[in-house]
Structure 1
């Protein structure tokens, strides 16, 4: 009997890496007739550097996340994924994606984009995908390629 995933979560953050993961997650959810959970975590640590916390920043981030998730949900539904749920959480993305959301939503597969960090950034802060691989209690699929299983063109202007 083939493994069939019931609830697939894909973490999206607006990066090209998460876009690849999202599109592949739609295909996997369609083939498995699974529920697709689209998750976005607003990293509240970014707001701690602002001396007087500006509620407008968090509100703007939330509105942008809602619109992005709505666009992703529409795309998934157009591609015959009937059960789609969107989730916005606030806090540190690593534990939320690896532990909290999978437990809260009974996730059996997490799909996540490969890190967009360079080698120095990975040394100092570590990637979310690396953390999720190490700490998740379910299967994790790290997506590196597009729908044709080709590596995306590299932007050579990045470090």
Structure 2
């Protein structure tokens, strides 16, 4: 019997990597007749060093996330996904994506774009996708290719 996913979560942040993950998520959701949960996590650590503009920056980030999720949701529905839900969360993206949302929403597949961090950056910051693959309790798909499984073209400098 084939594995059927029922609740797929894809983390989107507006990056090219997230766009690749989103396209794969649509295809997998349609093949599995699964619901799709689109998640954007606002990393609150980014606002800790800013004092007076703290709430204004957080509000702007939230507004941008709402607009982005609305656009992603509409695209997914236009491409045939029947059940689409969105969520904006605040805190550490690693923990929220790997543990909190999958537990709260019964996610059985997490889809993430591969990060562009180099080895030194991963050592100091750590990549979200790396953390999620090690700590999630459900299946995780790290996307490196487009919807047709082709590597994206890299711009040359």
What does residue 59 of structure 2 align with? 59
More off after superposition, 18-27 vs 118-127: 118-127
User: Could you tell me how far 1:147 is from its partner in structure 2?
Assistant: 1.1
Show the counterpart of 1:87: 87
Aligned residue pairs total 157
Q: Take 2:36 and 2:147, find their aligned partners in 1: how far apart are those partners?
A: 17
Q: TM-score, normalised by structure 1?
A: 0.95
Deviation per CA, 1:83-130, whole angstroms, max 9, x where unpaired? 000000000100000000000100000000001222221111110000
State the partner residue of 2:137.
137
Secondary structure at 2:140 match in 1: strand
Matched residue SS, 1:19: helix
Note the alpha carbon deviations across 1:36-83, whole angstroms, 9 max, x for none: 000000000000011335211011000100010000000000011010
| Structure 1 residue ranges, 4+ long, deviating more than 6 angstroms after superposition | none
- The alpha-carbon deviation at position 155 of structure 1 amounts to 3.3
Q: Does 1:38 align with 2:31?
A: no
CA–CA distance in structure 1, aligned partners of residues 50 and 41 of structure 2: 19
In 1, the alpha carbon distance for the partners of 2:151 and 2:119 equals 19
The SS at the match of 2:48 is helix
Q: Which residue of 2 aligns with 1:118?
A: 118
SS of match in other structure, 1:39: strand
What is aligned with 1:47?
47
